[in-house]
Amino acid sequence: MMADETAAADIDALETYGAKRRKLLRILALVVLAAAILWGAWYFLTQAGRVHTDNAYVGADSAQVTALVSGPVKDVRVSGTQAVKRGDILVILDDADQRIALADAEAALRLARQRYGQADANADAARARVAARGADVAQARARLRDAEASVERARAELARRESIAGTGAVSAEELTAARAAVKQAHAARDLAAAAIAAAEATRGSASGDLGAAEAVVRGTTVDTAPEVAAAAARVEKARLDLARTVIRAPVDGIVTNRQVQVGQRIAAGAPIMVIVPIATAYVDANFKESQFEDIRIGQPVELTSDYYGGDVVYRGKVVGIAGGTGAAFSLIPAQNATGNWVKVVQRLPVRIALDPKQLKEHPLRVGLSMEATIDTRGN
């Protein structure tokens, strides 16, 4: 009897345990299902349509500072890692050579102006000579007309005497004198004609001198004359070279890779430092080619950096997609036309612009790694 009661109690205990277990399993299943539903809802609402990569790096259009004139370094005003503003003095070169060159160019300009003034005065003098030679021609023509009148008078006197020579009213001596007077008048006329030719030749020579003198100054002023303008350009070049002995920051940023010391002689075009404009930094994120189905320019991006940790989330925007993968533009591109080819998923850089306000609050440095997540749901 006791054995039967014990067996019945064991059966009841097993049934009670089974019921409790089934109840716990049902509760566990409901919890798992609820968690899966919640996780699915969270993923659909927050993660679906988002592509992520940790292959992203901070970049900036750095400005390389170079010397535009050669010379010894007189002073270096900045050090590495120093923040500078656009227009701040970075380096000062010894300007002795440039000052001498400027003085020489200014002297050459004054000489060119003097030469132009002399050429202008020569042109005025040549005009005066042409006018004088014109007066000489007019005077010679007047003398010719007077000589021709004298020829006519002498002829008339000779004719009158010859007409009365047979009456004995005119002596042979008077007739001879009249004939001589006619010849003398002809000679004077020929001399006057020759004087006209000489005067015209002299005027022609003076006109040629005037043309040569006017060719130097025609259509110009003292400021637009070629020689003066060239000298003025050399002065401006010398002034520019003098100004370039003071090297200034071309942009706002951080001084990096400084390669100049006081006393060093640098050549024109030699790089002396780099300025990184961290206020305009951007991110190049390298996404897999399989992630580009929904990536478009203008989509929002969330980024984090180990530099500040996950508490600082940057807001950015896709502004460009590279024209090729990094492998395509490498120094030695991959040669895939081989028998042992293995497909490798390629990555394509995506340019992401950052919020300037966030960059000002939490500045980044070039080369820092970032994690980027693009929200493609608005595609």
CATH of the domain at 199: 1.10.287.620
> CA-CA distance, 86 to 67, in Å (whole number)?
16
- Helix ranges (H only) for the chain are 2-42, 96-163, 172-217, 226-243, 356-361
Q: How far is the CA of 230 from the CAs of 57, 120, 163, in angstroms?
A: 51, 18, 81
CA 248 to CA 367: how far, in whole Å?
25
Same domain, 140 and 247: no
- Asked if residue 175 belongs to a domain, the reply is yes
pLDDT for residue 325: 83
Q: 158 falls in which pLDDT band (50, 70, 90)?
A: low
Encode pLDDT of 265-323 as tens digits: 999 999 999 999 999 999 999 999 888 888 899 999 999 999 998 889 999 999 999 98
Residue 87 and residue 110 share a domain = no
Q: Please state the domain count of the chain.
A: 2
Residue 264 within any structural domain of the chain: yes
Beta bridge partners of 65: 273
**Residues 90 and 121 placed together within one structural domain of the fold:** no
Residue 103 lies in a domain: yes
Q: Of 14-28, 195-209, 334-348, which range is least confident?
A: 195-209
Residue 108: inside a domain: yes
Average pLDDT over residues 135-143: 73
269 is a domain residue? yes
Q: What angle do CA 66, 72, 76 make, to 5 degrees?
A: 65
pLDDT score at 312: 93
Question: What span, in angstroms and rounded, lies between the C-alpha atoms of 361 and 85?
Answer: 18
Residue 347 lies in a domain: no
pLDDT at 379: 59
Together in a domain, 85 and 138: no
Do 78 and 112 belong to one domain? no
CATH of the domain at 261: 2.40.50.100
**The pLDDT of residue 133:** 66
Q: What does the chain come to in residues?
A: 379
Question: CB–CB of 159/179 below 8 Å?
Answer: no
Q: Are residues 110 and 217 in the same domain?
A: yes
Could you tell me if 176 and 204 lie in one domain? yes
**Separation CA 153–CA 166 (nearest Å):** 21
Whether residue 177 is found in the same domain as residue 195:
yes
Nearest to 276 by CA among 15, 50, 78, 62: 62
CA–CA dist 172, 182 (Å, integer): 16
- What is the percentage of the chain residues whose pLDDT exceeds 90? 42
Pair 127, 76 in one domain: no
Q: What is the pLDDT of residue 66?
A: 94
Residues 129 and 227 both lie in one domain = yes
Q: Which of 58-67, 84-93, 181-190, 221-230 has the lowest average pLDDT?
A: 181-190
Q: pLDDT over 70 for what percent of the chain?
A: 73
Q: Which amino acid is present at 199?
A: A
Res. 171: pLDDT tops 60: yes
Supply the range of the domain harboring residue 172: 98-237
Is the pLDDT at 263 greater than 80? The verdict is yes
Is 359 among the domain residues?
Answer: no
Q: What is the Cα–Cα distance from 302 to 51, expressed in whole angstroms?
A: 10
Q: Domain for residue 136, yes or no?
A: yes
CB-based contacts of 176, cutoff 8 Å, min separation 6: none
State the pTM of this model: 0.65
Strand partners for 247: 91
Mean pLDDT value across the chain = 81
Please check whether residues 230 and 192 belong to one and the same domain. yes
Structure tokens at 120: 């202008």
pLDDT at residue 105 in the model: 94
- pLDDT tens digit sequence for 60-115: 999 999 999 999 999 999 998 999 999 999 999 999 999 999 999 999 999 988 88
Are residue 220 and residue 257 in the same domain, yes or no? no
